[in-house]
């Protein structure tokens, strides 16, 4: 089935009198921040909340300044963020107000707090409201954003009343000295009788953990030899080039992708001020990554759509119809030269993507997915709001965060939200939970490859495109798209995009399936 789609978008500020963003110049870098007309939290007019947000009603402008950009992603370096509030007439605010600070990476450290906000002694004034609540005195507040342990672009959003600003702080790879650690171990055993004579034979009855990947038997099972090799290394290999590599011959493959800390497993507290993080994330036995400034190439776990940013302050994305969201293990390359950005990826596996959507019913679930064999950490859970008159039109989506907003159990296929979701919004629009995840469909491995590119010949104009070729024998899929954008003003952008897909669909009643078990 061939499908083509054309879309044009015009992004405008939601409230003209709130087109008040801040910019700061530090170390030659200009940070552009986006203004939104959204209130700060559900309690901003509720005097019974831990923080009285009614003092934010007079905020008309947010100016956010950062002291640096391009900070090493070492888990410790700090970026100082200064926020200044002005009233509707442009004068500095007086008295006391409150900020809501949100990030998708790094850690927030407030003045006077003994630990960051992930530690036990943070300074969040209202732990009920999402984000970190910061007190503003006489129109000025300062806090620090601590670097994550891996290179990434961290999105920062600051909200006070109906004024909001957001931007990106870039963290680059830490150019550290080489560190290498590894081991080689082996086991040789010999017996005077065959191993089949030992009854009963039990798994792992000789050692706490047997070596299984590299092994061989001799003398009709009377002798065995097994070996294992593992290593990790990270450091500068030349100039600005950083190498990270890991290998374990006996690693359990595909136990879960995008490995991270599971707060509901093991000890709930890892240390008062300790920093936890994972490097070399791969569901395969091998991981390799080479970084050079903001470009890199890797073999390991990755998300295909990392780095798709909004255009300036308009809130529009350069690419919407041409998006292809997958979590996979394979090869990925990223090029970032400022005026030219590109991504390519390729993977060979048996995974297929399944998309399911369930109507909200006023509870927190659980919502049971159809496949019990979901690959852990590949799920993407979104809250979808559709138009009440035309349910085919999606008005907005909200990406939920694992462990913070929901818990997913891949073995029984159930998702439990942290709070109930109403069936309808206050405007009467229906809400639903959309769940995207990967499952092993069995059979032979197949190739999936794709890429995207973006060229900015000058600051206000950019052109790009994307392509995907999924050779799944049960449901082949191709996607191609082209787009261009023109930033007409600080808060206004024009985007045009064309996309075409070729796919196999299966219809059962009113449901349309992209694969035999993938509801779309």
**Mean pLDDT of the 50-68 span:** 83
Q: Looking at 419, 440, 461, which one is the last position of a domain?
A: 440
**Residues forming beta bridges with residue 81, ordered by sequence position:** 66, 143
Q: 1 pLDDT exceeds 70?
A: no
Do 419 and 338 fall within a single domain?
A: no
What is the pLDDT at residue 468?
93
- Separation of alpha carbons 292 and 242, rounded Å: 7
pLDDT tens-place string over residues 420-464: 889 999 889 999 999 888 888 888 889 999 999 999 988 888 999
- Structurally, the chain folds into a number of domains equal to 4
Do 143 and 88 fall within a single domain?
A: yes
Do 34 and 140 fall within a single domain?
A: yes
DSSP assignments along 255-306, one per residue = S-SS----TTSS-S---SS------S--SSSEEEEEEETTEEEEEEEEETTT
pLDDT level of residue 385 (50, 70, 90 thresholds): very high
What is the pLDDT at residue 220?
73
Q: 331 pLDDT exceeds 90?
A: yes
Half-sphere exposure of 367 (CA within 13 A, CB side): 27
Mean pLDDT of the residues in the chain: 77
Instruction: Kindly state whether residue 1 falls inside one of the protein's structural domains.
Output: no
Do 162 and 191 fall within a single domain?
A: no
What is the pLDDT at residue 492?
80
For the chain, percent of residues with pLDDT exceeding 90: 17
Instruction: Kindly state whether residue 466 falls inside one of the protein's structural domains.
Output: yes
Counting every residue written for the chain, the total comes to 520
Instruction: Kindly state whether residue 5 falls inside one of the protein's structural domains.
Output: no
pLDDT level of residue 508 (50, 70, 90 thresholds): very low
**Mean pLDDT of the 346-370 span:** 87
pTM summary value: 0.71
Highest averaged pLDDT of the listed ranges 199-208, 218-227, 245-254, 378-387: 378-387
Between 113 and 306, the higher pLDDT residue: 113
pLDDT level of residue 323 (50, 70, 90 thresholds): confident
pLDDT level of residue 245 (50, 70, 90 thresholds): very high
CA dihedral 402, 408, 410, 411 (to 10 degrees): 150
- Separation of alpha carbons 506 and 519, rounded Å: 9
Ranking 24-33, 96-105, 226-235 by mean pLDDT, the lowest is 24-33
Instruction: Kindly state whether residue 75 falls inside one of the protein's structural domains.
Output: yes
Judged by DSSP in three states, 230 sits in strand
What is the pLDDT at residue 518?
40
Structure tokens at 369: 């997915």
Instruction: Kindly state whether residue 8 falls inside one of the protein's structural domains.
Output: no
What is the pLDDT at residue 44?
37
Answer yes or no: are the C-beta atoms of 143 and 122 closer than 8 Å. Answer: no
Q: 219 pLDDT exceeds 90?
A: no
What is the pLDDT at residue 269?
57
What is the pLDDT at residue 274?
59
Instruction: Kindly state whether residue 3 falls inside one of the protein's structural domains.
Output: no
Do 139 and 250 fall within a single domain?
A: no
Instruction: Kindly state whether residue 4 falls inside one of the protein's structural domains.
Output: no
Q: Looking at 153, 172, 191, which one is the last position of a domain?
A: 172
Instruction: Kindly state whether residue 6 falls inside one of the protein's structural domains.
Output: no
Between 374 and 285, the higher pLDDT residue: 285
Do 48 and 157 fall within a single domain?
A: yes
Structure tokens at 121: 């002694």
Do 79 and 23 fall within a single domain?
A: yes
DSSP assignments along 152-216, one per residue = EEEEEEEEETTEEEEEEEEEEPP-PPPEEEEEEEEEEEE-SS-GGGSSS--TT-SSSS---SEEE
Do 339 and 248 fall within a single domain?
A: no
- CA atoms 111, 116, 122, 126: torsion sign: positive
Do 506 and 461 fall within a single domain?
A: yes
What is the pLDDT at residue 265?
57
Q: Pick left, alpha or beta for residue 389 (phi over 0 → left; psi -120 to 50 → alpha; otherwise beta).
A: alpha
Find, among 437, 403, 434, 398, the residue nearest to 418 by Cα.
Answer: 403
pLDDT level of residue 287 (50, 70, 90 thresholds): very high
Between 24 and 138, the higher pLDDT residue: 138
Full residue range of the structural domain in which residue 497 is found: 293-350+444-519
pLDDT level of residue 466 (50, 70, 90 thresholds): very high
Do 123 and 139 fall within a single domain?
A: yes
Q: 164 pLDDT exceeds 50?
A: yes
For the chain, percent of residues with pLDDT exceeding 70: 75
Q: Looking at 394, 415, 440, which one is the last position of a domain?
A: 440
Do 201 and 162 fall within a single domain?
A: no
- CA atoms 416, 301, 212, 371: torsion sign: positive
DSSP H/E element including 450: strand 446-458
Do 448 and 323 fall within a single domain?
A: yes
Half-sphere exposure of 244 (CA within 13 A, CB side): 20
What value does the CA radius of gyration of the chain take, rounded to a whole number of Å?
26
pLDDT tens-place string over residues 25-58: 333 333 333 333 444 443 433 444 567 788 888 8
């Amino acid at each position: 089935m061939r499908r083509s789609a054309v879309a044009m978008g015009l992004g405008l500020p939601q409230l003209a009198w709130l087109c008040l963003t801040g910019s700061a110049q530090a170390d030659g870098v200009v940070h552009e921040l986006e203004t939104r007309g959204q209130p700060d939290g559900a309690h901003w007019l509720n005097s019974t909340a831990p923080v009285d947000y009614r003092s934010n009603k007079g905020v008309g402008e947010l100016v956010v300044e950062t002291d640096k950009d391009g900070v090493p992603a070492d888990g410790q370096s700090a970026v100082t963020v200064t926020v200044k509030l002005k009233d509707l007439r442009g004068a500095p605010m007086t008295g006391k107000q409150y900020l809501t600070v949100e990030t998708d990476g790094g850690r927030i450290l407030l003045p006077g707090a003994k630990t960051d906000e992930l530690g036990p002694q943070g300074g969040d004034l209202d732990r009920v409201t999402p984000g970190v609540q910061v007190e503003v005195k006489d129109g000025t507040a300062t806090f620090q954003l601590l670097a994550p342990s891996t290179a990434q672009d961290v999105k920062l959003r600051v909200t006070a009343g109906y004024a909001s600003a957001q931007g990106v702080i870039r963290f680059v790879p830490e150019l550290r000295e080489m560190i290498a650690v590894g081991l080689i171990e082996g086991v040789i055993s010999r017996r005077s009788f065959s191993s089949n004579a030992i009854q009963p034979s039990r798994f792992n009855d000789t050692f706490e953990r047997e070596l299984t990947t590299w092994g061989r038997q001799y003398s009709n099972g009377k002798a065995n030899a097994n070996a294992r090799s593992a290593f990790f290394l990270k450091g500068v290999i030349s100039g600005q080039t950083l190498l990270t590599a890991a290998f374990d011959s006996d690693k359990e493959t595909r136990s879960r992708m995008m490995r991270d800390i599971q707060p509901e497993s093991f000890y709930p507290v890892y240390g008062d001020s300790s920093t936890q993080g994972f490097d070399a994330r791969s569901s395969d036995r091998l991981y390799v990554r080479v970084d050079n400034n903001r470009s890199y190439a890797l073999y390991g776990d990755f998300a295909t759509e990392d780095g798709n940013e909004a255009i300036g302050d308009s809130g529009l994305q350069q690419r919407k119809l041409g998006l292809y969201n997958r979590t996979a293990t394979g090869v990925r390359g990223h090029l970032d030269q400022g005026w030219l950005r590109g991504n390519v990826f390729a993977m060979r596996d048996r995974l297929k993507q399944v998309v399911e959507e369930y109507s909200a019913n006023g509870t927190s679930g659980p919502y049971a997915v159809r496949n019990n064999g979901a690959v852990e950490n590949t799920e993407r859970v979104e809250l979808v709001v559709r138009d009440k008159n035309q349910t085919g039109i999606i008005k907005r989506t909200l990406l939920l965060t694992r462990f913070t907003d929901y818990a997913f159990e891949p073995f029984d296929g159930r998702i439990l939200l942290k709070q109930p979701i109403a069936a309808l919004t206050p405007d009467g629009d229906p809400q639903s939970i959309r769940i995207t995840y990967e499952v092993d469909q069995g059979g032979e491995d197949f190739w999936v490859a794709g890429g995207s590119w973006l060229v900015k010949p000058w600051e206000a104009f950019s052109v790009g495109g994307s392509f995907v070729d999924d050779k799944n024998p049960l449901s082949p899929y191709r996607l191609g798209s082209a787009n261009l954008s023109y930033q007409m003003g600080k808060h206004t952008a024009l985007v045009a995009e064309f996309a075409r897909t070729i796919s196999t669909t299966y219809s059962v009643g009113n449901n349309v399936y992209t694969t035999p078990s993938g509801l779309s």
